[in-house]
Structure 1
Amino acid sequence: MSEDFIYFLWQFQYFRTTDLRTVEGETVRVIHPGFRNPDAGPDFTQARLFIGEVEWAGTIEAHIRASDWLLHRHQFDRAYDNVILHIVWDKDPIFLKRSDGSVIPTLCLSEWADVTLLHRYQALLAESGAIPCAGRVAAVEPFRRTAMFDMTLLQRLERKASGVMTLFHRADQDWEETTYQLLATAFGFQVNAEPFGQLSRQVPLKVLHKHRDNPLQLEALLFGTAGLLTSEEPDEYETILLREYRFLATKYQLTDRKLPAYSWKWSKLRPANFPTLRLAQFVKLLTSANSIFSYLIETGDSAVLLRYLQVTPTAYWQAHYRFGKSSEKVLATLGQTAAENLIINAVVPLLTAYSHHRDLPEYRDRAVDLLEQLAAENNRVTRIWQQLKIPIRTAFDSQASIELYRNYCQMKKCLSCQIGVSLVK
């Protein structure tokens, strides 16, 4: 039993309402159950109901046991003085009072609900698989899955946009700097996201802009500050970068901002994902437009964006994956999958955040449209859904399914999910 089940019963009124009575014996007639409160305070707000002959408007609090009210110390919180009904599953021999001494009526739902609902809910919670409803999800009406995917996709967009807005405020509300830091983190492709993001904070974009026309100096600034110019016997190109870095780091007071070399992860990475090559590709992207921010938010065609992002670094990196040792066949150009990843994890959140900041919904629509243009991601989570015969065709689907899996399925929040609710019903 969990309080989620009680919320579910009350929100959807899944109990007998004929001759409904409180523990104290008063009749109850629900006009409106109220709205689920996601914040601190009572569980439902704006509820309206008749208790006896009196109409009440206010909040409703739910617990498994009546005595949980005291356990949670609500008796000391004046925010709970507005509670008009206490709904519980187990009634304790306890009578609760507001601070003015008036009794808070209690409704014991176990006396009025169909126990079959509880058994179905418990069966979901008892499942040990990654997705509790795995055995039945394919049988749920497609429109319910679609509605849940729509909801989780929007939740994912909002959450990522919130992270972008945090960057925006830290960057003195400069969208160009925000875009630079966001793209840098995305170029880390999870494994090296943290050092890439830290590097972008150590070397401001305004410093790089002064050398936009000189890729060698850009590489010197970023490779040097990244702590990646550390070869014991550097080749000619690394020697040149190191000399440039020492001069520029002194000029811009960056010497003390250098990252330790151990910040970067190399283990189990394919050469095409080595941080040195990714950083060289990122440098090339920085030279591609006067305003990367403007280009990204004004381009609604995924094919155009993909071509823009699939940069090829300078000549040295077309023959090297890291400093020193050359390779005959280097996959120097940023690949299609990597470019799609950048759109999903940088461009789409950027568009959503900008949409909120400027109150321009067309930018969020553009973000959603880009996801619908891109093919679905292929990862562990999307493969789980596909094995259950759930169609994952576009990046819209894959992003929604990832959010559903991580924030609902793994946490077993089945009664906050339209799919789970339909199965319990």
Structure 2
Amino acid sequence: MSEDFIYFLWQFQYFRTTDLRTVEGEAVRVIHPGFRNPDAGPDFTQARLFIGEVEWAGTVEAHVRAADWLVHRHQYDRAYDNVILHIVWDKDPVFLQRSDGTVIPTLCLSEWADVTLLQRYQTLLAESGVIPCAGRITTVEPVRLTAMFDTVLLKRLERKAAGVKVLYHRVDQDWEETTYQLLAAAFGFQVNTEPFAQLSRQVPLKILLKHRDNPMQLEAMLFGTAGLLNSEKPDEYEAVLQREYQFLAAKYQLLTRKLPAYSWKWSKLRPANFPTLRLAQLVKLLASTGSLFSYLIETSNSAVLLKQLQVTPSAYWQSHYRFGKTSEKVLATLGQTAAENLIVNAIVPLLMAYSHHKDWPDYRERAVGLLEQLPAENNRITRIWQGLNIPVRTAFDSQASIELYKMYCQSKKCLSCQIGVSLLK
């Protein structure tokens, strides 16, 4: 038995309510079970019910056993003085009191709940697959699947927007700098996200913008600070960058900000995803776009955004993946899938955060619209859902499916999922 199951029973009133009584023998009639409280304090707020002949309004607390109230020391917490009903599963001989000594009525749900509901829940939890309801999910009404995808997608976007807001305040409320650091981290494409993020913090956009008309100097500052200009016998181009870096690093006090070369990961990466090439592509994007922030938030057409993002770096990187190593076939231009990834993981969260900042729903709708325009991501999680015949066609679907899998399925939060709840009824 888990408290989650008790929350589920109480929230949806999935128990026999006829002649409902507390363990003390008082009649109970629920007017409203209250709202689930995601924060600290009692589990349900704004509940209304009759106990005996008296109407009560307040909070409701749930535990597996009545004694858990004492284990959690709620009797000493004034936040629980407003509890009007204690709901439990196991009936144990414990009579509870508030901090002022008044008795709290207790309702034992195991005496009123349908045992088959518990059996279905336990069967669901016992499933060993990565998706607990995999064997039955095709029986769920499409409208419920859609509703849950909508719910988790919004939660995912809100969480990402909150991260952007933290970044925005960290960079002194500068949207251009926020955009730059957000994009830079996204250019790491998971494997090198952290060193790209660190690099963008070490070389602020305001310094780079002073040299926007000279991409070679941008490369010098970024490659040098990244710790990637370290060849003892550099080729001609790297030697030029080394000299430029020494001059510019001294000018802008960048020498002490250099990242260790070992910060970057190369193992198991395709050459097209080497951090050197990704960094050269980022430089090209910075040099070819005026106000990145304004451009990105005001462009609602995914095709236009993709074209702008699919940059081709400087000539050197059209024949090299790494310094000093010439390659005949270099896929230098940022590919379509990579550009789509940047929109999903940087531009969409930026739009959501700006929508909150300005309280303009248009930007939120633009963010969702971009996800609906882009094709679904192809990864292990999306393939799991597709293997269950769940349609994952757009980036909206793939982002929702990833959120559902990571935040609900992996931890078996079936009782918080509309799909799981529908299978238990």
TM-score (norm 1): 1.00
Matched, 1:423 2:423: yes
Whole-Å Cα distance in 1 between the matches of residues 399 and 320 of structure 2? 34
For each residue in 1:351-390, what CA deviation from the matched residue of structure 2 results, as whole angstroms up to 9, or x when unmatched? 0000000000100000000000000000000000000000
User: Secondary structure of 2:317's partner?
Assistant: helix
User: Secondary structure of 1:45's partner?
Assistant: strand
Determine what percentage of the aligned residue pairs are the same residue. Answer: 84
How many angstroms does 1:230 deviate by?
1.1
Report the counterpart of residue 12 of structure 2 in structure 1: 12
Report the counterpart of residue 274 of structure 2 in structure 1: 274
Report the counterpart of residue 198 of structure 1 in structure 2: 198
Counterpart residue type for residue 37 of structure 1: N
Report the counterpart of residue 166 of structure 2 in structure 1: 166
Whole-Å Cα distance in 1 between the matches of residues 53 and 212 of structure 2? 76
1:151-300 to 2 correspondences below 5 Å: 151-300=151-300
Whole-Å Cα distance in 2 between the matches of residues 366 and 97 of structure 1? 52
Report the counterpart of residue 391 of structure 2 in structure 1: 391
Question: Over aligned residue pairs, what C-alpha RMSD do you find?
Answer: 0.4
For each residue in 1:163-222, what CA deviation from the matched residue of structure 2 results, as whole angstroms up to 9, or x when unmatched? 101110001000000000000000000000000000000001000000000000000000
Report the counterpart of residue 92 of structure 1 in structure 2: 92
Which blocks of at least 5 consecutive residues in structure 1 are unaligned?
Answer: none
User: Secondary structure of 2:322's partner?
Assistant: coil
Report the counterpart of residue 77 of structure 1 in structure 2: 77
The count of residues paired between Structure 1 and Structure 2 equals 425
For each residue in 1:252-276, what CA deviation from the matched residue of structure 2 results, as whole angstroms up to 9, or x when unmatched? 0010000000000000000000000
How many angstroms does 1:138 deviate by?
1.3
Which blocks of at least 5 consecutive residues in structure 2 are unaligned?
Answer: none
Whole-Å Cα distance in 1 between the matches of residues 143 and 72 of structure 2? 39
For each residue in 1:79-98, what CA deviation from the matched residue of structure 2 results, as whole angstroms up to 9, or x when unmatched? 00100000000011010011
Whole-Å Cα distance in 1 between the matches of residues 183 and 177 of structure 2? 10
Whole-Å Cα distance in 1 between the matches of residues 290 and 353 of structure 2? 21
Report the counterpart of residue 63 of structure 1 in structure 2: 63
Counterpart residue type for residue 341 of structure 1: N
Counterpart residue type for residue 346 of structure 2: A
Report the counterpart of residue 317 of structure 2 in structure 1: 317
How many angstroms does 1:288 deviate by?
1.6
Report the counterpart of residue 45 of structure 1 in structure 2: 45
Report the counterpart of residue 378 of structure 2 in structure 1: 378
How many angstroms does 1:102 deviate by?
1.2
Whole-Å Cα distance in 2 between the matches of residues 312 and 49 of structure 1? 66
Counterpart residue type for residue 278 of structure 1: R
Whole-Å Cα distance in 2 between the matches of residues 313 and 295 of structure 1? 20
Matched, 1:116 2:112: no
How many angstroms does 1:232 deviate by?
2.4
Whole-Å Cα distance in 1 between the matches of residues 194 and 138 of structure 2? 38
Whole-Å Cα distance in 2 between the matches of residues 99 and 269 of structure 1? 61
For each residue in 1:138-167, what CA deviation from the matched residue of structure 2 results, as whole angstroms up to 9, or x when unmatched? 110000000000000000000000110111
Report the counterpart of residue 147 of structure 1 in structure 2: 147
Whole-Å Cα distance in 1 between the matches of residues 243 and 85 of structure 2? 74
For each residue in 1:56-105, what CA deviation from the matched residue of structure 2 results, as whole angstroms up to 9, or x when unmatched? 00000000000000011101101001000000000110100112221100
Report the counterpart of residue 345 of structure 2 in structure 1: 345
How many angstroms does 1:249 deviate by?
0.2
TM-score (norm 2): 1.00
Whole-Å Cα distance in 2 between the matches of residues 420 and 392 of structure 1? 19
Report the counterpart of residue 361 of structure 2 in structure 1: 361
Whole-Å Cα distance in 2 between the matches of residues 228 and 202 of structure 1? 14
Report the counterpart of residue 401 of structure 1 in structure 2: 401
Whole-Å Cα distance in 2 between the matches of residues 386 and 97 of structure 1? 52
Counterpart residue type for residue 73 of structure 1: R
Counterpart residue type for residue 392 of structure 2: I
Counterpart residue type for residue 355 of structure 1: S
User: Secondary structure of 2:340's partner?
Assistant: helix
Whole-Å Cα distance in 1 between the matches of residues 69 and 330 of structure 2? 65
Counterpart residue type for residue 197 of structure 2: G
